Structure 1
């Protein structure tokens, strides 16, 4: 059954309120559309954990920099709605930008610490836009839970922080990265890749695997673990944006992984002109 398509904040608030009044548990999956199996897995998990699943499909302009790909970001609303239907989504909020940011809009959300470094340093203002739109969506829907993929790991930590700090009362659930059979993390931006760049992009997951293998062999120093991942990027001819080993919660850089400590390695690199990210837990 095709999901109900909601175009305005007012009708979305009314729909979500009707779900809550009926005593049903609501899960929300925020997306920018051009859905892939990673998004669909979040929706299916939402169905498992709640009575009703809603999604948003909104290419959020406030999280794109002036030289980024807002105008060409891939869009396919018809295909997205079919995927939502297959996952049991009951309603989709698909607004135009002016509905989310009407004339006179002036309020933004800044999550200060976990948004520093990594993608936050390379994409100024990005997490301000993410935090703002997610806060708005959580306030509009007031779901009991919201699901996000771990592929955008820094984003997930930003969202966890804003929910906690603003006392929004929503359970934030992070789900493991969904990968192609060859290991490439699923991403809407993979559509930009040429066949050659698509093959070269596998160096991101290979680099993470190399670092994990080195850790399992007994290495704990960040310089060696990062070096293992970096060599894979260099061998494939990718242009590194960053390779960092950080604390899995605070995202602060680590000189080494201590006993029982869970770290996260995050990588970003360009395959051709396409910037891709990936990450993996290490240690713990």
Structure 2
């Protein structure tokens, strides 16, 4: 065999070893798709098509719900105009009920527009959603407060007028619904901080991230040994820094698997980033 042929085969073996090490270190890469099912080939495409069909079906159902709400609001405005235009009492109950359903119709149209933006993957969809919620729901809340002031004012004698009694009862029902909405908003305002803390804690647990106060105790619990190539044969490189182990290097095997060992300094730096999971198998380094 010629020298050039030997050199070519040597390079091929080197490439194979590099690829093998890359495959072994694949768990260290970011887990961008932890929630995706491990499907391959046609199964993966089938799942993707099924998910797209499900999303389209959900969008169609949402559209139908929005159209139903919009038609109900328009019908309510038509009935108010038909039966309440001639109502006269101490407060502007006709105008209040009409504007209330106009705001609800605007919210339905905005929800329909948001759905279109979502389908077209509009860049500022989240910004538009937040802005529309603040403007429209803020206006609705303000109108409910104004209606509450009108309803309980001394000028309200609409229940004594024959032509205004229907609108009086309607306004009373709408205000009751408004009280419930205010209660929901108040609960959200008071409970949102607690909910954020709980969700962040659950997210940190799923990601294996621990609070900084627990890091010293995890590091202290690590086992520290001298590297012996006769004892540790499964890996000749640290999976964190990719540097080969040398004789008398201080290493740390983890309790999840004796074959999962790393430079002690490397695993300590790994833990200092807030991670309490093995870099290879994602099992907890120490149960907290």
| Band of TM-score, shorter chain | under 0.3
Q: TM-score, normalised by structure 2?
A: 0.17
Richer in strand (by share): 1
